[in-house]
Amino acid sequence: MAQISQQFIEHIEKQLPESVPLDDLLSACQCPLRKSIRANTLKMSPQELRQEFESHGYKLLPIPWCEEGFWVDEDEKALPENLGNWLPHLEGQCYIQEASSMLPVKALLHDFECHEESAFLDMAAAPGSKTTQLTAKINNQGLVVANELSSSRIKGLHYNLQRCGVTNSVLCHTDARHFGESTPEFFDAILLDAPCGGEGTVRKDEQALANWNIDAVRAISQLQKDLIVSAYKALKPGGRLVYSTCTLSKEENQEVCQHLLDLYGDSIQIKPLTDLFEGANKAITKEGYLHVYPNLYDCEGFFVACFEKKPSDVLITDNTSNQNTRFSFSPISSEHYTSASTHTSLFGWDIGPIKQQLWQKDNRGKSLEIWYLPKSTEKLCRHIKLNRYGIKLMEISKHGVKLHHQAAISFGHTFSKQHIELNAQQAEDYYQGKDIFLDTPIKAPTNKEFMVTFKQTPLGLVKHLGNKLKNNLPRDLVRDKTFNQLP
């Protein structure tokens, strides 16, 4: 049973709209949270995800604001606890994400015209539920900067981006309060899913409201105000900003938005979310924000505000010097492009269409790395230090060309040759880091790299050694336990 501090009850009671009686809110806080899942459309359609679950007796209910998202009706059948070890999850076909947490990206992209050069910033991105939702929705177009301050959380963010086949993102590891100064008017759209008090998460975390106090709320509200000002400054005129939290107090929500409007109300305006989805009116505030109390749609509490920065007639000029010491890549040379494309053609992979995004980097004289970088990465690097760039595709050394794991999981769906389809047991063995023994040896030269797939989805690379396939899954991706069949 959730422990809810009396101080919180007295505080929130004063802020509740008439449509949300305190008793309804408190009883919703005591109900376990409905679980939800989202199809990652870079790898699986919502229909396929639904079929996969329903063929095992689960009942999935659509989430009204996210066509890729579903609630799992656990009255019918409960989800297994360890869904993270399920093969389709490891393959990046789905993401376990709370339903209301799917709202901010919906707001960010609603009527938004995304193009090849669009630059997005996710200011507080780990573990990546919204970054992966965004990149899937824009089909890996443009550039998405995923930023996270916490060192311990950035690894999980990177893992999720890789797993989900995200190719248009770079990772940044900084305090998001710096973006306003370091990347002024750089981004077309910014998501600030702010660090917050988490009052809306009490249905998942029974202790979330046990030790509530107003001083902590005020302190975090100040951080949020600094972050939203930084977001405003980093946004291009004509750009879009979404501010969201999973908390309920006005100090962390409406007051933060009002701070932005008090400072910059002449050049930014609220984009009301009234028509975001059918039924949004239940949660709409008088300003046009969505304030989702946990009882409204039977999910977590959430707050979402959307702003548009007015277009400006003043032309933005990028005065930053081209002398960029932080950027250690150069465009791929024709000699190395020839080596790279000769190698990828063995896999039936034509890298011609991505040639403009191929860069080379010297690996301390030992080898030469070939990378795929999202558009505008070089320009961005003139302003900020990145933690991880796009995707390392291969290494060229005196021993020849060697493909990298990320090339297979990000671009493997376009390989037409040199891949081996595994059965479920072999796919599980692969994720557990084991070599794969073949019942019937394949007719192919030994010591060659192959890509392995399961149900046509790329898992990674192996080396063919005759009767076995040597596992080349990077060690940090190896899992102790995996399963294929839903119970």
Ligand X SMILES: C[S@@+](CC[C@H](N)C(=O)[O-])C[C@H]1O[C@@H](n2cnc3c(N)ncnc32)[C@H](O)[C@@H]1O
Shortest distance in whole angstroms from residue 466 CB to ligand X: 44
Bridge partner residues of 284 (DSSP): 290
Bridge partner residues of 38 (DSSP): 69, 95
Which CB, 181 or 421, lies closer to ligand X? Answer: 181
Interacting residue ranges for ligand X, rule: CB under 6 A:
101, 123-130, 147-150, 153, 175-177, 193, 195
Which CB, 154 or 394, lies closer to ligand X? Answer: 154
Alpha-carbon distance of 208 to 423, in angstroms, equals 43
Number of residue whose CB is nearest ligand X:
124
Residues 6+ positions from 224 with CB-CB distance below 8 Å: 194, 195, 196, 245, 252, 256
Which CB, 150 or 356, lies closer to ligand X? Answer: 150
Per-residue tokens: 371: 């990378």
Shortest distance in whole angstroms from residue 458 CB to ligand X: 24
Question: Does residue 385 have a known ligand-binding role?
Answer: no
Shortest distance in whole angstroms from residue 149 CB to ligand X: 4
Q: Could you give the count of Cα atoms lying within 13 Å of 242 in the half-sphere of its Cβ?
A: 27
Per-residue tokens: 107: 């707001």
Which CB, 131 or 418, lies closer to ligand X? Answer: 131
Question: Does residue 390 have a known ligand-binding role?
Answer: no
Shortest distance in whole angstroms from residue 3 CB to ligand X: 22
How much is the CA Rg of the chain, to the nearest whole Å?
Answer: 24
Residues 6+ positions from 393 with CB-CB distance below 8 Å: 340, 358, 370, 371, 372, 403, 404, 406, 407, 411
Shortest distance in whole angstroms from residue 118 CB to ligand X: 19
Tell me which residue of 19, 97, 8 sits closest to 283, measured CA to CA: 19
Which CB, 190 or 396, lies closer to ligand X? Answer: 190
Question: Does residue 130 have a known ligand-binding role?
Answer: yes
Which CB, 91 or 193, lies closer to ligand X? Answer: 193
Alpha-carbon distance of 403 to 453, in angstroms, equals 16
Which CB, 69 or 127, lies closer to ligand X? Answer: 127
State the greatest distance between any 2 C-alpha atoms of the chain, in Å, as a whole number: 74
Q: Where are the beta strands (DSSP E) in 246-363?
A: 268-270, 290-292, 302-309, 330-331, 358-363
Shortest distance in whole angstroms from residue 193 CB to ligand X: 4
End-to-end CA distance of the chain: 28
Q: How many CB atoms lie within 10 A of CB 464?
A: 20
Which CB, 177 or 463, lies closer to ligand X? Answer: 177
Q: Could you give the count of Cα atoms lying within 13 Å of 39 in the half-sphere of its Cβ?
A: 20
Question: Does residue 407 have a known ligand-binding role?
Answer: no
Q: Where are the beta strands (DSSP E) in 260-418?
A: 268-270, 290-292, 302-309, 330-331, 358-363, 367-372, 391-397, 400-403
Query: Strand, helix or coil at 216?
Result: helix
Question: Does residue 125 have a known ligand-binding role?
Answer: yes
Query: Strand, helix or coil at 377?
Result: helix
381 is catalytic: no
Task: Give whole-number Cα distances, 94 to 20, 43, 60, 87, 439, in Å.
Answer: 33, 8, 14, 10, 31
Shortest distance in whole angstroms from residue 226 CB to ligand X: 8
Bridge partner residues of 453 (DSSP): 421, 458
Question: Does residue 148 have a known ligand-binding role?
Answer: yes
Q: How many CB atoms lie within 10 A of CB 170?
A: 22
Catalytic residue among 164, 246, 257, 381: 246
Alpha-carbon distance of 121 to 135, in angstroms, equals 11
* Backbone φ, ψ for residue 307 (5° rounding): -130, 155
Question: Does residue 124 have a known ligand-binding role?
Answer: yes
Query: Strand, helix or coil at 9?
Result: helix
Question: Does residue 193 have a known ligand-binding role?
Answer: yes
Angle in degrees, CA 278, 279, 283, rounded to 5: 135
Shortest distance in whole angstroms from residue 260 CB to ligand X: 16
Annotated binding-site ranges for S-adenosyl-L-methionine: 124-130, 148, 175, 193
Annotated binding-site ranges: 124-130, 148, 175, 193
Q: Which residues are catalytic?
A: 246
